Structure 1
């Protein structure tokens, strides 16, 4: 159920700075990652060569296909650590890209919902009964950014003043 107290995002919307596929490169774990999606997909595997291969593909869709081809080699603890890796990726990206952090802070106190109809772990699922882990990750990072004062939100245009002549 959509309400005014919620913000809906899609992990696959390249235009949305809160999406995992938004092209906002960042450095983490001795690598430069083109998107958060690349990072999280690569961290599913322990093989450094496979991680590097995923990191090097041009777009998140190619990274997803490559990871899917190797799914039988997923790390054994992936279910228990995937949220941690997603959190690390998005938090690091926010620190690297203040506009991304501001977009997250501008959601205020609204509940953030990942609107995937098919993903019941990261998203809300077709019936709204999904875990919405990605939304929870974003809300946790938003709180961490606030408490750390890492990025100050941009004031609304009505509050900005031109410098005197």
Structure 2
């Protein structure tokens, strides 16, 4: 059910600056990441070599294939930390790319919904029962960006010690 008080985003839409797959590079954890999706996929693993391999994948689709190939090596605590890593990636990307921050702020007070029919964690899934975690991450980052602009100028500091999460 779509409403006018909502914004629908696909995490995999490379054309949308709010998507985790949007190719807007940023630096985080002493590395340059091509997309938030690359970062989050890599953080599923503790092995630095595997993280580097995922980071250097040509696109998020190739990075996801690498994850599937190594799924037995996914860190034990992943379910409890994945939202934190996604939040860090999206927030840092917004700090690095003012156009992404602007696009997120322009959603106003609308509810942001990840529109995947198949993802019951990041999205709501086909039946709408999923928690819409990606939408929640975007709305939390939006609030953090609003707080940052209320305190300082519209140019955000990438040295913010308190990313949302």
The answer to whether 1:77 aligns with 2:77 is: yes
Counterpart contact for 1:10–1:114, Cα < 8 Å: yes
Note the 1:7-156 alignment, pairs <5 A: 7-149=7-149, 152=154
How many residues are aligned here?
153
In 1: Cα distance, 2:54 partner to 2:11 partner: 18
- Which structure is larger by alpha-carbon Rg, 1 or 2? 1
Contact 1:101 1:151 in 2 (8 A): no
Given that residues 145 and 151 in structure 1 are in contact (C-alpha distance below 8 angstroms), is that contact kept between their aligned partners in structure 2? no
Write the distance in 2 (CA, Å) between the matches of 1:45 and 1:126: 29
What secondary structure, in the 3-state scheme, does the structure 1 residue paired with 2:84 have? helix
Aligned equivalents of 2:154 and 2:104: distance in 1? 11
CA distance in 1, matches of 2:57, 2:147: 35
Moved over 2 A (4+): 150-153
> RMSD of the alignment, in Å?
1.2
Change (3 A) 1:108 1:151: farther
Q: Distance in 2 between matches of 1:122 and 1:48?
A: 25
Gaps (5+ residues) in structure 1? 154-165
1:8 partner SS: strand
State the TM-score, normalized to the length of structure 1: 0.91
1:156 is matched with none
CA distance in 2: counterparts of 1:13 and 1:148, whole angstroms: 27
Q: Is the 8 A contact 1:102 1:151 kept in 2?
A: no
Greater Cα offset, 142-151 or 55-64: 142-151
Residues 45, 51 of structure 1: 8 Å contact kept: yes
> What are the superposed Cα offsets for residues 74-125 of structure 1, whole Å, 9 maximum, x if unpaired?
0010000000000000000000000000000000000000000000100010
